[in-house]
Amino acid sequence: MTDDLALLPFKEGNDRLVRRQWHDGRWFFSVEDVVGLLTKSGEPWRYWSDLKRKLREEGFQPYEKIVQLQMRSLDGKLRETDAADVQTLLRVLQSISGPPAEPVKQWLAKVGAELLGEIAAGVVSGRDFAVFQDWGYRGLYAGETVRDIAARKGLPRGQKILDHMGSEELADNLFRAVQADAQLRREGTTDKAAVNRTHHEMGQAVREFILGRGGTPPEELPTPEASIKEVQRSEQKRLEAERQPSLFSESDEGDTQT
């Protein structure tokens, strides 16, 4: 995979692009592009510079998570750009408040959900993959399986639990899955029992980390009112409505008498 541009599934004034690049086995996104989208700042690099100081004060070290990648600018030239994976971007977004952040969180949640569906597929496949995922959830959710989580969230049969997670819950699961996948690849584990045990232990480790830092366990996090797919459909309808030409020109509307 090479340099690419990911068009966000919503529009605010003009179509906005967030640059992305495949690196180290996953997608990395331009932090400045995401910050610019959220803040509507004309100088997103300055906002990002201030935000990095704020993150350090909150105990998050961005330089340990951010990488610099050559990304193509609008003028066609390649330049060094601060980039982050989905997990890190979700953490950055926690420090940016306001309504504009919510659609981007939903978009990142969708990206993360798609990634979670692919992680470790090279280690297990088919029927074994569902069992593998269950072991990871059981470790992270204090024994709950996918079916248990769906029932607790009140989801009808056929609904995917990943479509009904907020950004924080998704980030917890993304961290669990990414770290389990990395460990399995490092160890070259292929035995089914050992693979499932590794995923379960990683889920437990992530849970212990969350609780140890005073965080909220995933089963106690609120379920969003709208699923990711519902948000997408709503945004698509809004975009289609915006593309429909007005029946009257501005001048006609100004001359209309009632």
H helix and E strand count, the chain: 10, 5
Is residue 251 assigned to a domain?
A: no
Structural domain containing residue 84: 1-98
Residues 214 and 126 in one domain: yes
Report field, pTM of the whole predicted structure over 0.85 = no
Residue 15, helix vs strand vs coil: coil
Please, is 98 exposed, middle or buried when counting C-beta atoms within 10 Å of its C-beta (0-12, 13-18, 19+)? exposed
Q: How far is CA 124 from CA 114, 144, 177, 206, in A?
A: 17, 21, 13, 21
Is residue 27 assigned to a domain?
A: yes
Residues 83 and 23 in one domain: yes
Tell me, rounded to whole angstroms, the distance of Cα 148 from its chain centroid.
Answer: 23
Whether 174 and 112 have beta carbons less than 8 Å apart is answered as yes
At residue 65, φ and ψ (nearest 5 deg) are: -110, -25
At residue 142, φ and ψ (nearest 5 deg) are: 55, 45
Which pLDDT does position 177 carry in this prediction?
83
Which pLDDT does position 23 carry in this prediction?
85
Domain count, the chain: 2
Is residue 38 assigned to a domain?
A: yes
Residues 138 and 90 in one domain: no
Is residue 157 assigned to a domain?
A: yes
Residues 90 and 134 in one domain: no
Residues 45 and 123 in one domain: no
Residues 85 and 128 in one domain: no
Is residue 239 assigned to a domain?
A: no
Which pLDDT does position 3 carry in this prediction?
46
pLDDT tens for each residue of the chain, 258 residues long:
344 444 444 334 444 577 888 888 778 888 888 888 777 767 888 888 888 888 888 777 767 788 999 888 767 788 899 998 877 887 777 777 665 666 677 667 666 666 666 665 755 666 788 888 899 999 999 999 999 999 999 998 888 898 888 878 888 888 888 788 888 888 887 788 998 999 999 999 999 999 998 999 999 999 988 777 776 666 566 656 655 555 444 445 445 444
Which pLDDT does position 220 carry in this prediction?
96
DSSP bridge pairs for 67: 83
Q: Sheet holding 67-72: strands in order across?
A: 4-7, 17-23, 26-30, 78-84, 67-72
Residues 7 and 72 in one domain: yes
Task: Provide the 10 A C-beta neighbour count for residue 30.
Answer: 25
Residues 66 and 13 in one domain: yes
